[in-house]
Each structure stands twice: as C-alpha cells, then as structure tokens.
Amino acid sequence: MTNNTKDIKQEILTLKTLIKQWNYEYHVLDTPTVTDDIYDSTYKRLVNLETQYPQFLTTDSPTQTVGGKTNSTLPKIIHQTPMLSLANAFNYQDLIKFDQKIKKTLSQNKIQYVCELKIDGLSIAVTYINGKLKTGATRGDGTSGEDITNNILTIHNIPHTLPTNINLEVRGEVYLSKEEFKRINTSQQQQNQPVFANPRNAAAGTIRQLDTTIVNSRNLNAFLYYYVNAANDNIKTHHQALQTLQTYGFNVNDQYQLCSNIDEVWTYVQKFEQLRINLPYEIDGIVIKLNDLSSYDLLGRTNKAPKWAIAYKFPAVTSVTKLLDIFPTVGRTGKITYNAKLEPVLIAGTIVTFATLHNSDYITTRDLRINDLVTVKKAGDIIPEVIAALIEQRTTKSIAFTKATNCPDCHSVLEQVPPEVDQFCINSDCKERILKSLIHFCSRDAMDIMGLNEKILQRFLELKWIKTISDIYKLVNLRQEILSLARFGEKSFTNLATNILNSKQNSLERLLFSLGIRHVGQKTAVVLAKKYLTLENIMQASYADLASTNDIGTIIATSLIDYFANPINIQLINNLQALNLNFYYLGKQHSQLLAGKTFVLTGTLSKSRNEFVTLLDNYGAKITNTISNNTSYLIVGENPGNKLTQAQKLNVKIINEEQLQIILKEVSKNG
C-alpha cells in the first residue's frame, strides 16, 4: 500500500468516525453539534473517497447504514421491513441525475413522480392488526426502533381504529406546529426549565417521554405518507396509496402533487422553497417518489436508501444579528471550542441565541469581532454557525477577538501544537474535562453504564464521591450515602450497582473507546483489540508496529504512544486493573467458528439487532436484512413478518433464540 492510499484510508476512517458521532448526536441525543452544510460536505467527501477507492468501503460505513440508533431506556420493536433513510439532492442537476438513472433502469422515457413536503420531525412506523392500532415505533437504526406505542395513542390525528379490518403498516412523521413549539418554550421558561432548540428536537424529545401525560400536554401532530406493502393490497401507485390512507382516516399532508416529469418536480420545489416560511409547521425539503409501485422492486435499494425516492434539501437559512460575545468551552479531551453569544434572532422558526465558532483560526480568518453584525446560518435543526461579519457596517464599538490563553474552567495554560489549529487544556484535574470524560466513559457506546447520566455524575462530582473514572466502580460501596439523595431508592441503587459491576466484564474494545484516547473511536478500538488481544499488549506496542497496522496509521499511533507515556493515565489503568475490569478482547475466542454463515432476524426478539450483530460477528457470522438461497438461518421472535414465509419457501433453517444459543454452545465446544 502506498503512502497516498494509507493516507486516504486514514481519512476515510476519520470521516466515518465523525459522521457516526454526528448521527448519534442528531438521532439519539437530539442535540446536533454541526451545521447541515458541514455534515453534508463531510458526507459527500466520504462518498467520493469510497467511490474512488472501493477497497476501503465497509458495510459499517455511515454511507451504507441508516444514521439512527435506539434509546436504551425504551423497549425495542423490530421493523417488518427496513425503515430506510433517503439519498439527498441539493440542486436541479442532482434531480436530473436521479431521473436519468430511473429511466435507464426501467427503459422508459415517461416517468411520473409524487412530490411531498419533507416534514421536519421524527419518523415513525405504526402497525394495525384487524384494523386496530397495535404498535408504534421510531425508525431507530432502520431495523429496530423504540417502542412508543403509548405515546402514539396520545396523538389525536393518528386513528386508533380503521374503518376496515385490515392488517396495515403506515409510516410518517411526528411533528410540532410552530405555534405549539412557541407555547411549549414559553412554558419551559416560566418553569425555569431549558428551552428546546427547535420544533424537531421538541417533537423527538416528547415522543420518547416515559410519562404519557407530558406527551399528551404537548399536542403532537403527525403526517402519514407511506403505505408499506401497498402493492400487496392491489394499489398500483403511490398517489393512489396516499388517497387510500386518507380514506382510512390518516392525516396525509394535502400539499402532495403528482408530476409528469422532473421539470414539474423542479417547479414544485421552487414553489415551496418560497412558501415554506408561511407554513404552520417546519419543512426542510421536498421528497420525490416514483409513482409506479410495481417498479420499486426492480429499482431496488442500497443498504441505506431506496433508489425510487430522493429528498431535495433546501439551502441553509441565514439571518443577520449582533455578535454579543465570544467565549471558549472545554471538552473531555481538553479541546477548546469557541462559541458565539448572539442577540436573539428567529431563523427558520427557531430562536437562536448561541452559535458555534469552532476554533480560533475560524474566528481570525473571518475577522469576527464582538458587537459586529454577523450572518448566522442554520439548516433544519442543526446548531447554528456564524459564517461572516458585515464588515462594511462595523462601528467603533466592535472589539477585536483575543485568543484564549487559559482554560475557561481550570484556568491552566492552553497548549497548541502546530500544525493543529485546536487548543487543548492538558490539566488532567480540570473539573469540566473530568465531567465530560465521565459522561463519555458511561455512555452507551462506551462502557454502557445506565443510570449515570450527566446530572447524576455532576452531583457525585460536587459531593466528591467521584474524582476520576476509577471512582465510578467505588460507588457500589456508597449505598447509604446514595440512598440519602432525593429520588434515589433501593431499586435505583440496586440497578445502578448492577450496571456498574456488569460493565467490568465488557470486552477490551469498549474499555479502549471509553478511555477517551484522542483519535481512537469505536472502529479503531475494535481494530486494536482484535490485533493485540490485551490492553497490556497495546501499551507495550512500538510506534512502528502501531503505525503499520491497517486502519491505524501515524496519527493514531502517536496519540496512543503519548497516552500511555503519561503517568496519570498509567495510574488510571492500574486502578482499573485493581478493580478487576476486564482487559482482554472477548470476541477473539469465537472468531471464525461460524465463518460463512448468514443469519436473518424477524419478529420481536429479546435483544436489539445491534446486539445480535455483535454476538454473531464474534463467531465470524453476519446478519443481513433479506432472505435468499444463501441464508443459513432465520432467527424468529414473536409476531414474525413476511420473512418467515419466504424462509419456508426457500427451505431456510428456522430457529428461535434458544436454538441459537444451543448452536453457539455447540460450535464453541467443537471449535
């Protein structure tokens, strides 16, 4: 491999790690941290590199998977068919290419499309059995979503009973009107509660509430737009499917339009780009779907999106306001991020008071100054970004930016190593760094310690019960102290202690990721764990050996060497070892015992799809979404879907979860 291709591979890994983190922040936390433009340009860069260097394209790439994940606090529902996202178009030429690909595949010159408003909310799937509402779920990771049935029942325009005894799955978008969003935020302010950034975040946070009385009080709405398996019910077109949903009593957005060609689509797009500000709800684009349902299977789909539909995304929305202040904040790695305090301004239905300024170079290259009038950009519900100063309107009151020299929390001197543009607080005792590192350590993708959220960790820090990561494992000895806190009962403490103790058995890659080593994301942690097998081996690895490892490279190798050269980090690792945390890679013991075997899931199972993927990956097997002659096993849960019938027709071996465990034990014994 040449140095150039090594660099490309490393860039692809970096881009994938970034996008996965942004997806998690957007879909799970409902707190996006980058602008739409930054996300889209980064995503495009990844697509271009993977196209140019297909040898580096992997199935776990965010270009191949749906962006969301499920919230661990809610039960899961496995979707009968994958709930995919949509490919994006950003201009007229993108729509032309979409049209040409469809015409080429179908060998047709005349194609009809249906245009619909892209509602800025949260995607849902609702199933009906014999005309009665059975379940409601979020999209989640596309294969399984959170069970939000009780909350769906509170939405007045989702019918509980249909006028016909039909089995039906319908998908749509839960949203808040602009008016209701303002009312909720006013109420939040009056109660000294944090306000929501925008209607989408408010809707997403509400639909995931465990308290249905809160959901009911917020007047959620829903538009339904996709009749799953409509063709099986003798419906020929998507236009007809929308009309049928309306006859069943579903709230279908009435702005949809049947278009005879892509030019009519473009006219529709331009029309609503102008009208969007006057709508009573937020939209962030237009969805364009092929009208003929019989062509959907022929066109097919990628792992992430159907090829018969596309989403046109509106350009970023900008406004002008005053830059009141520039201030830095510190993250878990010590990285300093600069932020803007703004004179409140309404952008696309959202009151914006803060925006990101990234780093000091970003500010100086744009000559941003306090008291300047600035242009602020915002697309959809992404955190706003200051993009330029109106220098021609600058007054004598403007104050030039001064780069911070000290950490905003602990006041230690910041460090910057050229050619990096970012500054870092290197004080390991910095309270803000400690808090954010604790939050990361306990997060779902790291050690997954449920019950230790940001508020609780902050409280324990204030009480001096936690000073470092290793102190988390000493909390199990503070039963009486914790029980003395408000809202902490015996059951809460028992669950917390159990989760803390269980995390000790996590495989090495989780521990590596949770330590917060710079540039070591989830994928890199797995690569390191699989190669070196133990934490001790990684700590003793040479720079040359690390740098020559596939998917590692010089940047990560340097970061690892630096991390393990720090006596404070060594002390932390020694403390964790004394507390009996697992330092071994657990997946290796089963590797390749089921190599070449392919599994498919159907129905409601005891674990999430991701947990089954991880389990079977440890044995060298893989999980796919579709049944074929190459499928080795279909794992069946409660209420299986059409995959069961397909498996029976193809004589695929059908097993349940208990039988899967028997198979795994058998291959382990004979392996």
Q: CA separation (Å) from 303 to 3, 125, 363, 624, 634? A: 31, 19, 39, 10, 19
Match 């946070």 to its residue by tokens: 205
Check: CB of residue 172 under 8 Å from CB of residue 224: yes
Closest CA to 302 of 543, 506, 61: 61
What is the C-alpha to C-alpha distance for residues 554 and 547, in angstroms, rounded to an integer?
A: 5
Of 118, 313, 377, 523, which residue is the catalytic one? 118
| β 598-602/633-636 pair status | parallel
Check: CB of residue 83 under 8 Å from CB of residue 66: yes
Helix ranges (H only) for 504-591 are 508-514, 522-532, 535-540, 543-547, 553-564, 567-578
Check: CB of residue 251 under 8 Å from CB of residue 158: yes
Q: CA separation (Å) from 418 to 188, 230, 413, 415, 423? A: 44, 59, 16, 10, 10
Closest CA to 633 of 662, 606, 610, 611: 662
Closest CA to 475 of 571, 464, 486: 464
Concatenated DSSP letters of 454-513: HHHHHHHHHTTS-SSGGGGGGGGG-HHHHHTSTT--HHHHHHHHHHHHHHTT--HHHHHH
Q: Is the dihedral of CA 381, 384, 388, 393 positive or negative?
A: positive
Q: Which amino acid is at 254?
A: D
Tokens of 281: 């709800």
Check: CB of residue 423 under 8 Å from CB of residue 407: no
What is the C-alpha to C-alpha distance for residues 595 and 602, in angstroms, rounded to an integer?
A: 21
Match 């129905």 to its residue by tokens: 603
φ, ψ at 242 (rounded to 5°): -65, -40
Check: CB of residue 42 under 8 Å from CB of residue 18: yes
Is 118 marked active-site?
A: yes
Name the maximum alpha-carbon separation found in the chain: 80
Check: CB of residue 133 under 8 Å from CB of residue 124: no
For residue 343, the surrounding DSSP H or E stretch is strand 336-347
Active site residues: 118
